[in-house]
Amino acid sequence: MTPIQGDAGFPDLVMTLHDPDDESRDRCIVAELKSFRGRRDFQHGQKEWLTAWRAIEQRSQGAVRAFIWTPMDWDEIERELKEGTR
């Protein structure tokens, strides 16, 4: 891992899938990754970014989904990532 510059609290992962042959499959998954022990510890800006992404999620009809993931969420993580590869 290397530190990068960016807006404070920006989510760890922003993953997109674009299928030019079937844009109904297009989606974006936003994930803040946390250790299980640190799952309730938010750094400066993280809650604000998640609030913004979740507002977009509400308006996107499922095309954008925002998560806070810990290792305990592995089943959900696999489910969400497989969803995009059908």
- Tokens representing residue 10 in the block: 């920006």
Query: Could you tell me the CA-to-CA distances from 29 to 14, 23, 37, 68 in Å, in that order?
Result: 6, 15, 23, 11
Applying CB under 5 A, does 77 fall inside the site for Mg ion?
no
Kindly state whether residue 12 participates in binding Mg ion, applying the rule CB under 5 A: yes
Size of the site for Mg ion (CB under 5 A): 2
CB of 56 to Mg ion, least distance (A): 19
Structure tokens at 82: 């497989």
By CB under 5 A, which span of 19-27, 28-36, 56-64, 78-86 interacts with Mg ion?
A: 28-36
